[in-house]
Amino acid sequence: MRKLLLLSIIVIVGLVFIARLFYLQVYNEDPYSLFDDNAIRKVYDYPKRGYVYDRNDNLLVANQPSYDVMFIPREVKAMDTLEFCNLLKITKEDFIKFYDKAYRYSPRLPSVFIPQLSRIEYAVLQEKIRKYQGFYIQKRSLRDYQTTIGANVLGDIGEVNNYIIENEPYYKSGDLIGKQGVELSYEEVLRGVKGIKFIQKDRFNRDIGPYKDGIYDTLPQPGKDISITIDSKLQEYGELLMRHKHGGIIAIEPSSGEILAMVSAPSYNPNLLVGRQRSRNFSKLYTDTIAKPLFDRSLKAQYAPGSPFKVLSALVGLQENVVTTQDQFSCRGGYYLGSRRLTGCHAHASPLSMNQGIAQSCNAYFVNVYRRIIDKYDKPHDGMDVWSNHIKSFGLGDYLGYDLKIGNKGRIPDGDFYDKWYGKNRWSSTYNISNSIGQGEVEATPIQLANMVAAIANRGHFFTPHIIKKIEGQEIDEKYTTPNHTTIDKKHFEPVVQGMFDVYNTGTAYSLRVPGIDICGKTGTAENFKKIDGKTTQLTDHSIFVAFAPKDNPKIAIAVFVENGYWGSRFAGRIASLMIEKYIKGEVTMNSMENWILTHSLEDEYAKPYSGKPFGINRQSALQVIDKITKDTVINPISNRPSPFNQ
Amino acid sequence: MQREFRGLNFDWITIILFLLLVGFGWLNIMSASHSGEITSYFDMSQPYGKQSVFIIFTLFLIVLILALDAKFYERFASIIYIISMLSLIGLFFFGKNVNGALGWYGVGGMTIQPSEFAKFATSLALAKYMSDLQTNMKTFKDQLKAVAFILLPAILILLQNDAGSTVVYAAFFFVFYREGLQQVYLVVAIFLIVLSVLALKFNVVVAVLVSAILIFGHHFFGQKKRPQIFQPIAILLVCILFSFGVKYFYNNILQFHQKDRISLWLRLEKDPTKLHDMKQTILYNLHESEKAISSGGLTGKGFMQGTRTTGKFVPEQHTDYIFSTVGEEWGFLGSALLVILFVALLLRILYLAELQKSTFSRVYGYCVASILFAHFMINIGMVMGLIPTIGIPLPFFSYGGSALWAFTILLFIFVKLDSNRINEW
Ligand SMILES: [Zn+2]
C-alpha cells in the first residue's frame, strides 16, 4: 500500500494537468484568430472611396482625409491621463465615459476614442500618441461634397453600428459605411476593400516587424467611381423651385428609366453630415418632426394620386373593351346613382367622350368607365382583380425595384381587399367608385407616378427606374435595361396620350403651356387629412401634376407633388412645366411663371395646424408671398426657411 | 553471468525520456529567447546558445557519472552532503544576489546555484542514513534525525530568500512514508492543509466547526475502544490554536507578494479594481502565460510561430514559464505529450526504485522521483494557474546550467545505481 501513494499522486496530477490543458486550449478557447491576438497589431489601410459624378460627368462627391483616435481598452496601461486629456481637449470625466463605454462594448476590440480630428489636432497628436499604450491614430477618408444639392440622392457615410459589426465581418468598429442614398445602395462598389498589415508587437507595445514576413498582409483595393443618372442642373433647379414647399419631384427619362431628378423638399446641405458635427446635425434634422427633412418624400411619401390616375382608368376601359373613344357620358355636376350623388364634379360641357373626359378631368366620365370594367364580370370580386392587375402592371401597388433602399409599396386594392373589408361578395362597384379618380383606397408614391407616366409616354412599357448610370469597369444590373410591359395594348395609348396633350391645349393645364414643346400632362388634387391632437382634421388639398414631353419621342416624364398646394395646376403644374422647359431647352423662358413659384411660400400653410388656432383650408386660406428666392439664398439646416443669420 | 557487459546495462527507457525532455526543452528555449535571426546554435550571446553548451557539458557529466563505481556514491554520500552544506553556508559570505535571492556564486562569467546541487546531496545523505541497519523509520527518534538532514538545507535556502526552492524539500515526505512513517502523519498532514485552507478561505469559526465535527464524529462512531473524552477536546483545542496561527501567519508574517499569491489562488480578493491591479502586477506573468497557453488551441501555432512568445509577452518565459511556450506553439497535443513524458519518467523511476535490492538504491530512487515530481507539479501547476506562484524550474526543460546539471546528476546517479542492482545483495 505504501508503494502506491506517490504513484497514484503522480498519475492524478498528470491527469489534472491534461484536463486543465484541455479546458484552457480546447474547451474554453475560441478558434484562434489573428484579429483577436493582442500580440499582433492590425494596421488598416483604407482605400480611396469611389467618386460620384452626375450624368454629365460633373463631380459631385470627392474625398478628404480624416484622422480618428482609436484605442483598445484592455491594452491601455497606466499613463498621464491629465496630459492626454489636455492634448485632446476633453475632460477627465469624458475620458472615463469613453473608456467605460468602449470597455463595455469589447475590451479587446478597437473602438473610436475621438473621431475626426482637425488637421492641427492631428499634427500635435501624431508625435505623442506612441506614449499612450493602447491608443493609435487611424487615417480614413471622409466625403467632400462638391455641391450643396441632392442630399437625399447622394446620401452620406457614417460610423458603422454594432449590429453591422456583428453581422458583417468586413466592418470593424470606427469604419465608415454608406447610410443613405447612393452611398448606401452602392456601398460595396464605392468603398473598395481595405488593406491590412499584421505587425508583431512585444509586450511594451513596440513593433518588432511584420508578422510572418507579411504573408497575410493585403493591399487596399480602391473604390470604383460611379456616375449617377441625375442631371445636377435639373436637380438644382428642382430644389430651388421646391423651396418653401413640402413635397417631391421625380423626373425620369422614359427611354431608359434613368432618374433625371429626384427632389425631396425640404432638403438640407449634404455637407452638414460630414465630420465631427455629423451626429449633432443629424439629430437636429432627425428631430424636426414637422418639416421632416430626412424623410425622402419623392420615394417614401404615399398619397392618393388623384386625377392623374384617371388616364389609367381610360386605358383599362379600352383594353377591357367596355368603352370606345367615341362613347359619351353625361355629367350633371357629379355622378348619380339614382338620386344619390356619389361624387361631385366641376363645371364643364356635357356629355363628353374620352378625349374631353381626360382634358376636362370629368369625375363622372371615369366613374362610368370604372363601373363598366368591374361590372363586366359576374362577380365584382373578379372584375376588381382584373382591374387591379392592369393597374399593377404599371408598377403601382408594389415596390418598384429601383436601386435606392427606401420606398413604399403604395396601394392598389383587389377583390380580396374588399372581401375582407365588407365581407365576401357583400359589395359592388358602387362601393369603391372613388378608385377610378385616384381617391378611395388607391395610393402611390411620387416615383411610382412618374414611372406610370413614363410607361404611358413609352406607349406601354417602362424600364425600372434607377439612379446608377455607370460603374467604373462594370456593367450595371441588367434588370434596369430590360423593358417591363404593361397589360395594355400599344394601340390604346394614342387616344389617351392625345387626351393628355389636350389637357395642355384646351384643358385644365392650358395656362401652363410651354412655347415650342408639346407636353402631355394631367392635373391632380388630393384631399388629405391629418390627425392633430387626436382629431382627424381636413387640410388644404395636395397639388399634383404628372406630365411627359415631347409628345412624340419623349425625353422626360415627371411627377410633382406639393403638399397642401391646393389644386394641381397651381403649384405642381407650374413646377412641372418649368422643369420640362429647363431640361429640354436647357434654360427657362417663362420668367413670370418662374417668378410666381419663387415668390410664393406654403410655410404659413404648414404652420397653421400647429398654431393651436382655428384655421381655414382650400378657398379660405390665403397665399403667402415672399421675397424672390435665388440660388444663393442659404438654407438653414433645419428646413428650407432662409436662415436669418445668413441673409 | 548473463550480464557480461555490465557497464552498458543502463535503463535505456529512462535515458531516452531524459534526452527527449532535454531536446524538446532546448527547442522551446530557442523559440522563447531568440531575438532576430538564428545565426548559430551556439551563439553565446543568446540563452539558447548557452543552453547548447550546457547540454554538451551535461553529456560529459553523464559519462563521468556512469563511469564511476556505483559504490562510490554510497561511500561518499556523507562527504558530498557536507560539502554541499558548506557551499550553502558559504553563500552568506561570498554569494551573489540575483532577483532578491542570495543564491549564486559568480565564477568567471558564469553563475552557479548551490541550492540546485543540494537536492541530490541531501538525497544521497538521506538514502545512506535510512539504509543504515541501525535506523528504524518507525521510531520517533530516527524520524527526527532524518528530518534534520532535510531541515538543514531547507532552512539555509529559506534564509537566502529562496522560498520556492525550500518548498521542494517537503517532497521528502513521500520517501519517509514509503520507508515506514506512520499512517497518522499522512492523516494529520492532510487534515492540517484542509484546516489552513478553510481558515483562510472562510474563517476560523468554519475551520473549527469542521474539525470539531470530524474529531467528535471519529470519537463517537469511529473507534471500538473509546478513549477518554478529554483527548478529542485537547485535539480540538490544538486545531483552534492552529487555525488562529494560520490566520496570524497569513496576516502578519507573510510578505506582501507571498500574501497576494495565496490571496489570488484562494480567490480571496473580491474588489474588482484591486483584482485589476493585481492582474497588471503580481498576476501579470500568470495572466500572460495562461493566455499564451490558451491561444495555442488544439495543435498550436507551430514552432517559432507563437505570437505571444515572439513578442515576449510572458516574462521569464525561457526559465520558469517555459511551459507557456510549449502551450502556445505546440498546442494541446504538444503540451499533453510533455505531461505524459514527465509522468512516464516519474513512473519509470518509481518502478525501478521498487526493483532495487539495496535499501540505499531504493531510497535514493524514491528521492529522485519525489524531487522531480515536486518540480513538475509546482512548475506546470503554477504556469497554468492551478497553484500559487512559486518560481522553480521545470526539470531538464527550463533554461539554466545549474538546474540542468543538478537534475542530470540527480537522475544519472540513480541510473548508475540501477545498472548495478544485479550485483547487490
Ligand atoms: Zn364632370
Q: What is the pLDDT of residues B243-266, one digit of tens each?
A: 888 888 888 777 777 777 777 777
Q: With bands split at pLDDT 50, 70 and 90, how would you rate the model's confidence at A640?
A: very low
Q: What is the pLDDT of residue A228?
A: 95
pLDDT of amino acid A386? 94
Q: Are residues A332 and A212 in the same domain?
A: no
A485 three-state secondary structure: strand
Least confident window among A396-410, A552-566, A605-619, B272-286:
B272-286
Report pLDDT for B2. Answer: 45
**Residue B92 DSSP one-character state:** H
Are B384 and A7 in contact (CB < 8 Å)? no
Is residue A644's pLDDT more than 50?
A: no
Per the prediction, chain A carries an average pLDDT of: 88
Domain shared by A459 and A347, yes or no: yes
Q: Do A37 and B331 touch (CB under 8 A)?
A: no
Residues of A in contact with B311 (CB under 8 A): 39, 200-203, 208
Give the list of residues 6+ apart from residue A569 with CB closer than 8 angstroms, or none.
A508, A509, A511, A512, A523, A543, A545
* Shortest alpha-carbon distance between residue B248 and chain A (Å): 31
pLDDT for position A29: 66
Ligand 1 centre distance from Cα of residue A440 (Å): 18
Measured between beta carbons, which residues in chain B are less than 8 angstroms from residue A210? none
Within a domain: residue A564?
A: yes
Q: Do B380 and A17 touch (CB under 8 A)?
A: yes
Distance of CA A602 to CAs A243, A305, A540, Å? Answer: 9, 20, 11
Instruction: Please report, in angstroms and rounded to a whole number, the separation of the first and last CA atoms in chain A.
Output: 102
Mean pLDDT on B187-202? 84
Looking at the complex, report in whole angstroms how far the Cα of residue A107 sits from the nearest Cα belonging to chain B.
Answer: 13
Strands (E), A391-495: 461-463, 468-471, 483-485
A-chain CB neighbours of B313 within 8 Å are: 39, 202-203
Q: Are A405 and A185 in contact (CB under 8 A)?
A: yes
Cα separation, A259 vs A55, whole angstroms: 10
- Inform me whether the pLDDT recorded for A349 exceeds 70: yes
Portion of chain A with pLDDT greater than 90, in percent:
45
Within a domain: residue A641? Answer: no
Contacts of A254 (CB under 8 A, 6+ apart): A453, A454, A455, A457, A458, A462, A548, A554, A555, A556, A557
CA distance A111 to chain B (A): 21
Answer yes or no: is pLDDT of B54 > 70: yes
User: In this model, does residue B1 exceed pLDDT 70?
Assistant: no
Instruction: Please check the confidence at residue B425 and state whether its pLDDT lies above 60.
Output: no
Same domain, A175 and A192: yes
pLDDT class for A642, splitting at 50, 70, 90?
A: very low
Neighboring chain A residues of B184 at a CB cutoff of 8 Å: none
Residue A10 located in a structural domain: no
Q: How would residue B6 be classed by pLDDT, with cut points 50, 70 and 90?
A: low
Q: Do A24 and B384 touch (CB under 8 A)?
A: yes
Q: Which three cell numbers stand for residue A431?
A: 362601393
Q: Is residue A26 part of a domain?
A: no
Interface touch B373/A32, C-beta < 8 Å: no
CB–CB contact B312 A24 (8 Å): no
Among A196, A212, A228, the domain-final residue is: A228
Q: Which residue of B has its CA nearest to A12?
A: B343
B366 CA to centre of own chain: 13
A interface residues, B as partner, C-beta within 8 Å: 2-3, 5-7, 9-11, 13-14, 16-18, 20-22, 24-26, 28-29, 31-32, 37, 39-40, 77-78, 200-203, 208, 211-212
- pLDDT above 90: residue A185: yes
Contacts of A16 in chain B (CB under 8 A): 386
DSSP code at position B41: T
Q: For residue A367, how far is its CA from the centre of ligand 1 (angstroms)?
A: 10
Shared domain check, A271 and A221:
no
Greatest mean pLDDT range, A340-354, A451-465, B166-180: A451-465
Q: What is the mean pLDDT of residues A585-589?
A: 93
- Cβ contact B350–A24 (<8 Å): no
Read off the pLDDT of residues A281-331 as tens digits, 9 standing for 90 and up. Answer: 888 888 888 888 889 999 999 989 989 999 999 999 999 999 999 999 998
Among A202, A228, A254, give the residue marking a domain's end: A228
Q: Give the whole-angstrom CA distance, residue B40 versus residue B57.
A: 18
Cα(A112)–Cα(A72) distance, rounded to whole angstroms?
Answer: 9
Residue A275 confidence class, pLDDT cut points 50, 70, 90: confident
Minimal Cα distance from B304: which residue of A? A212
- Based on the domain organization, do A380 and A441 belong to the same domain? yes
3-state secondary structure of B406: helix
How many Cα atoms sit within 13 Å of A221 on the Cβ side?
8
| pLDDT tens-digit readout, B358-389 | 999 999 999 999 999 999 999 999 888 888 87
Give yes or no: residues A619 and A498 share one domain: yes
Which range scores top for mean pLDDT: A200-209, A270-279, B281-290? A270-279
What value does the mean pLDDT take over residues B145-155? 92
> What is the pLDDT, as a whole number, of residue A510?
87
CATH number at residue A576: 3.40.710.10
Contacts of A2 in chain B (CB under 8 A): 177-178, 180
Q: Is the pLDDT at A557 greater than 70, yes or no?
A: yes
| Nearest in space to A56 (alpha carbons), one of A213, A187, A232 | A232
Decide: B411 and B368 in contact? Cβ < 8 Å.
Answer: yes
Identify the closest residue of chain B to A76 by CA–CA distance. B280
Give yes or no for residue A643 having a pLDDT over 70: no
A10: chain B residues, CB-CB within 8 Å: 343, 346-347, 350, 369, 373
Residue A207: pLDDT band (50, 70, 90) is: confident
Place of cell 535505456: B12
Q: What's the CA-to-centroid distance between A428 and ligand 1, angstroms?
A: 22
Looking up residue A79, the CATH number of its domain turns out to be 3.90.1310.10
How far, in Å, CA of A131 to CA of A80, rounded?
Answer: 9
Other Cβ atoms within 10 Å of A122 Cβ, number: 18
Q: Is A106 inside a domain boundary? A: yes
Which domain-ending residue is among A228, A243, A262? A228
* Domain coverage including residue A471: 232-286+298-630
Q: Measured between CB atoms, which of B186, B339, B370 is closest to A14?
A: B339
Residue A112 domain flag: yes
Q: Identify the CA nearest to A238 among candidates A479, A577, A471, A519.
A: A577
Looking at chain A, which residue has its C-alpha nearest residue B342? A14
pLDDT-based confidence at B171, cuts 50/70/90?
A: very high
Torsion angle in degrees (nearest 10) through CA of B174, B175, B180, B184: -30
Nearest in space to A236 (alpha carbons), one of A225, A251, A246: A251
Cα A366 to averaged position of ligand 1 atoms, centre (Å): 9
Across residues A8-33, what is the average pLDDT?
87
- Cell, residue A343: 361624387
Contact between chains at A13 and B310 (C-beta distance less than 8 A): no
**Ion ligand 1 — residues with CB < 5 Å:** A 331, 345, 362, 364
Mutation target vs B (from A12, A21, A33; most B CBs, 10 A cutoff):
A21
Q: Based on the domain organization, do A81 and A206 belong to the same domain?
A: yes
Mean pLDDT of A603-626: 82
CA-to-CA distance for B408 and B62, rounded, in angstroms? 7
Same domain assignment for residues A396 and A445: yes
CB contact under 8 A, B298 and A26: yes
- Do A268 and A223 belong together in one domain? no
Q: What is the C-alpha separation between A603 and A623, in angstroms, rounded? A: 10
Q: Which positions in chain B touch A203 (Cβ < 8 Å)?
A: 288, 311-313, 315
Q: Which three cell numbers stand for residue B137?
A: 523509520
User: What is the pLDDT at residue A74?
Assistant: 79
- Written as nine digits, the cell of B32 is 522563447
Q: Which three cell numbers stand for residue B60?
A: 560529459
Q: What is the pLDDT of residue A629?
A: 80
Q: Is the pLDDT of residue B342 over 80?
A: yes
Q: What stretches of A377-414 show up as alpha helix (H) in DSSP?
A: 380-392
- Number of structural domains in chain A: 2
The answer on A417 and A306 residing in a single domain is yes
Q: What is the pLDDT of residue A635?
A: 54
Same domain, A407 and A524: yes
Chain A hits for B354, CB-CB cut-off 8 Å, are 3
Report helix, strand or coil for A339.
Answer: coil
A33 to chain B: which residues are within 8 Å by CB? none
**In Å, what is the CA distance from A470 to each residue of A179, A193, A282, A483?**
21, 20, 30, 19
A21 vs B366: CB contact, 8 Å cut-off? no
- Chain B residues with CB under 8 Å of A25 CB are 293-294, 296-298, 327, 331-332, 335
CB contact under 8 A, A14 and B343: yes
**Spacing, Cα A358 to ligand 1 middle (Å):** 10
Q: What is the pLDDT of residues A76-104, one digit of tens each?
A: 877 788 888 888 888 888 888 888 888 88
Chain A with chain B: Cβ pairs closer than 8 A: 112
Distance from CA of B297 to the nearest CA of A (A): 4
Report cis status (omega within 30 of 0) of the bond before A351: yes
**A491 located within any domain:** yes
Cα of A335 from ligand 1 centre, angstroms: 8
Region A394-404 average pLDDT:
92
pLDDT at B221: 74
* A275 and A213 share one domain: no
Of the candidates B174, B180, B332, which has its C-beta nearest A6's C-beta? B174
Residue A51 domain-assigned?
Answer: yes
The helix or strand, by DSSP H or E, that contains position B242, with its residue range, turns out to be helix B230-248
Question: What tens digit of pLDDT does each residue of B284-298 get?
Answer: 777 788 888 888 888
> Minimum mean pLDDT among A408-417, A479-488, B3-12: which range?
B3-12
Residue A308: Cβ within 10 Å count: 29
